[in-house]
Amino acid sequence: MAPSSTTNAYDLITAAGGVYSYGGAHNFGSVPKKSASSRIIGAAATPGGNGYWLLGADGHLYAYGDAIHYGTPYEQRHVGSFVGLAVTPDGGGLLAVTDHGSIVHLGDAPFCGSPVHQVTSDNVVGIVPTPDGNGYWVFTSDGTVYPFGDARAIGSGHGPGGSPAVGLAATADGGGYWIAYADGAVRQFGDAPFYGSPAHAVGHQPVTGIAATRNGAGYWVATDTGQVYGYGQAVSHGSLGRAAASAGHGVVAVVATAAKTTSGASAPPPPPPLPPLKPLKGDPYAHGAIGYDISNFQCNRHAPARTQAGLPARLGLSVLQVAGWLDSSLNSCLAAETSWANRAAAKGDPPSLYLFMNAPTNSTASRHQAATGPAGRCATRPRDRQASCRAYNYGYNGARHALAYATARGTRSSLWWIDIENAALARGEYANFGAGQYWSANRKLNDRTIQGAIDALRASKITVGIYSSSLQYSAIAGNYVPAGKRVPLWIAGVPWTKPPYHERGLPSTAALASWCAGTAHYQGSKKTDLFAGGVPWLLQETPGVLPSPYGIDPDYAC
């Protein structure tokens, strides 16, 4: 019997990190006692129902089953405490929102804007993506709904008698949604039909969440005591006992997921194996070595000549950030971090370096950097070639300036990585940092910027690799393979590594073999983990359910 999926299943999530599964939903575990660093506030299930994520109010993220750890919201810039978590429809990214309206996007989840300048108090409640993943709604406790991206402006609504809004669930086509209120009322907007509400049944049990079936033909409403009411095609398969909910500090969310049933269908044949990758010469990392990458965020702000306290004292490899943008944001404590890396190196191996990449902006500094370079003086080029000229010069000059900065601080490496991430794309030629859009929607221009940076570093006989994921790289650069030598890859978003954390139950590093071989793929995607025609040298991820004791991501050498 081959497995097939049904969508009439759900999980109840408690503030203590407990996960209770109903309707045949798979349970992959809960946050262990004393492991959660803060109250759990939300959860999201993977598309196939074989995993889920839990999010703490402080931004720590816990991944279970096949849920990929795309990063940690608490490490990203944000204002306020986190209140909501959502997964993109294909499972390739996550969106987290704070009570002040800050939005953190991970994986390939797009950033389409935030209400941080519109919200007048800390009353944001949650975030819900559109069915195609190209937008989202952010909603507040007073029932105001803010649409972003391709999310439709369908309407807002106060709760009866001023009852606060606690949840929003969208219809399958994105043409409507339901808002649930603490007193049990449910209001429908757009094409969302009304199936019912527990307004006359909940009594003094406040409602804390609503989740729609995946076909939008019904919804579940849950209370903080774990009582579940099903409407339409949403069948209530059970509720959490009042005592259990109390011990778990109350139910904070109900999450629609998929259950596994059996059918007579035969399983599809496995795809043919890919040919083995040919190794690249010059790999400086010892196979199986584990280390960390750090950036300007690990700088001691009060004493730039020092790094922040608590970094690991021993490591097998290290990668240091030189600059956070191609035209600014130089790492102010690069020299100090170099000293740390040299002291902590197991065999005295020097650190490798990385440069965060972006498309040029329309700022004065960016235009100046792009105006003249190896591609020529762009203003004298034919009009239809000027943007390509600027993109190449910007990448080339930015990498050259970063190299000069590192050299002046006594930091040298024969291997540099260029960091290509954040698939929120700006319209037109220029990036829009204010909207969190670091790259242009014009992939050909992005390709020119990438090639310019590679050429600048190679001119100094440096090996250049690319840090990204196949999901983000393809969104930013398409199928572009840089000219010249084949590039090494530093792959982000790999499910498991095993640094020396005090945590049991993590798989061995043998689980990483398929990622190093280029035969692995991300949840919800059929794309191989390979991109840019490259070969994996490094893998990056934060493992397990415990946060890194250092607040940084570990790296594993293939």
Instruction: Using a pLDDT cut of 90, give the percent of the chain over it.
Output: 51
Q: What is the pLDDT of residue 72?
A: 75
What is the C-alpha separation between 409 and 105, in angstroms, rounded? 33
Q: Please name the residues in contact with 552: beta carbons below 8 A apart, sequence gap of 6 or more.
A: 292, 293, 294, 298, 311
Angle at 97 between CA 165 and CA 70, to 5 degrees: 140
Q: What is the pLDDT of residue 519?
A: 85
Which of helix, strand or coil describes residue 155?
A: coil
Q: Sorting pLDDT into bands at 50, 70 and 90, what band is 4?
A: very low
Bridge partners of 109, per DSSP, are none
Q: What is the pLDDT of residue 221?
A: 96
In CATH terms, the superfamily for domain 2-263 is: YVTN repeat-like/Quinoprotein amine dehydrogenase (2.130.10.10)
Q: What is the pLDDT of residue 435?
A: 82
Low-confidence winner among 132-136, 271-275, 403-407 (lowest mean pLDDT): 271-275
Do 488 and 439 meet the contact criterion of CB atoms below 8 Å apart? no
Which of 520 and 148 is assigned the larger pLDDT? 148
Do 212 and 230 meet the contact criterion of CB atoms below 8 Å apart? no
Q: Among residues 88, 45, 94, which one has the least CA distance to residue 69?
A: 94
Do 21 and 29 meet the contact criterion of CB atoms below 8 Å apart? no
Judged on CB neighbours under 10 Å (0-12, 13-18, 19+), 272 is exposed
Q: What is the pLDDT of residue 75?
A: 64
Phi-psi region of 518 (alpha: psi -120 to 50; beta: other; left: phi over 0): left
What is the C-alpha separation between 11 and 27, in angstroms, rounded? 8
Tens digit of each residue's pLDDT (9 = 90 or more) over 488-512: 999 998 876 555 555 455 556 777 8
Q: Sorting pLDDT into bands at 50, 70 and 90, what band is 525?
A: low
Strand order in the sheet with 145-149: 124-129, 135-140, 145-149
Q: Tell whether the model's pLDDT for residue 50 goes beyond 50.
A: yes
Buried b (16+ CB within 10 A) or exposed e, 121-139: eebbbbbbbbbebbbbbbb
Residue 193 neighbours by CB distance under 10 Å: 13
Q: Tell whether the model's pLDDT for residue 537 goes beyond 90.
A: yes
Q: Hey, what's the torsion of the CAs at 410, 412, 418, 419, to 10 degrees?
A: -50
Q: Please name the residues in contact with 385: beta carbons below 8 A apart, sequence gap of 6 or more.
A: none
299-302 long-range contacts, Cβ below 8 Å, gap at least 24?
A: 299/331, 299/332, 299/333, 299/336, 299/337, 300/333, 300/336
So where are the chain's domains? 2-263, 293-359+400-420+450-473+483-557
Do 557 and 279 meet the contact criterion of CB atoms below 8 Å apart? no
**Percentages of the chain per state (helix, strand, coil), in multiples of 5:** 20, 30, 50
pTM: 0.56
Mean pLDDT, residues 230-251: 80
**Mean pLDDT for the chain?**
85
Bridge partners of 56, per DSSP, are 40
Q: Tell whether the model's pLDDT for residue 547 goes beyond 60.
A: no
Instruction: Using a pLDDT cut of 70, give the percent of the chain over it.
Output: 87
Q: What is the pLDDT of residue 369?
A: 93
Mean pLDDT, residues 171-181: 94
Mean pLDDT, residues 447-467: 96
